[in-house]
Structure formats: structure tokens, C-alpha cells
Amino acid sequence: MQLEYLVNLVFCIVIVALALIENRRLKAGDILLIGLGFALFGVSHLVRLLEGAGDYKVADIAWLNSLLIAVRICGYSSVVAALIVRMRRPAG
């Protein structure tokens, strides 16, 4: 299971880096929102990776489990907001 979190974390880092690079080129806030969403997903994956290296289980710590759920909800909300902004932009 740890390999899954590591792979997801690496992809999150790549997506955040690409979003930052593309934002410098286009100056588009929606791209930054997507990067923010994946940065939040990356935090969640990092905590899960550290769980494997540490002495704790996220499921056993109620406040941490709730916090990770909130972080993921914020991540998804950020990506959804970016897509809505992009869809409302006139074509062309």
C-alpha cells in the first residue's frame, strides 16, 4: 500500500510543478487552483506515507483522519472551481 501513496505523491509533485510553470507562462489563476488541489492531495499522500514509517495509524487518530478528509475535500473543491472558471471562459 505504501507504494501507491509514493506514486501518487510523485505525480502530485509533478502536477504542481507543471501548474506553476504554466502559470508563469499564461498567468491563469485556474491553473494555480488545479496545482493547489494537487498540492493538497500530496499532503494527504505524504501523511499516509509517514504513517507507514511511524508508530501510528491515521484511522486510529480521529482528529487526523477528519483533517485529512477536510484536506481532500478542499483539494477536490479547488480542482472543481478551476474547471468551472475554465468552462466559463469564452472560447478562442
Cell (9 digits) for 5? 501513496
The answer to whether 16 and 38 are in contact (CB under 8 A) is yes
Mean pLDDT on 1-9: 88
Looking at per-residue pLDDT, the higher value among 91 and 63 belongs to: 63
Whole domain around residue 10: which residue ranges? 2-88
* pLDDT at residue 18 tops 80: yes
- Report pLDDT digits (tens) over 21-73: 998 888 888 899 999 999 999 999 999 888 877 777 877 889 988 999 999 99
Q: Using the Cα atoms of residue 76, residue 43, residue 5 and residue 9 in order, give the sign of their dihedral.
A: positive
**CA angle at residue 28 from 23 to 31, to 5 degrees?**
65
pLDDT of residue 55: 78
User: How many independent structural domains does the chain possess?
Assistant: 1
pTM (2 decimals)? 0.85
Residue 92 in this model has a pLDDT that exceeds 70: no
**Residue 85 grid coordinates:** 472558471
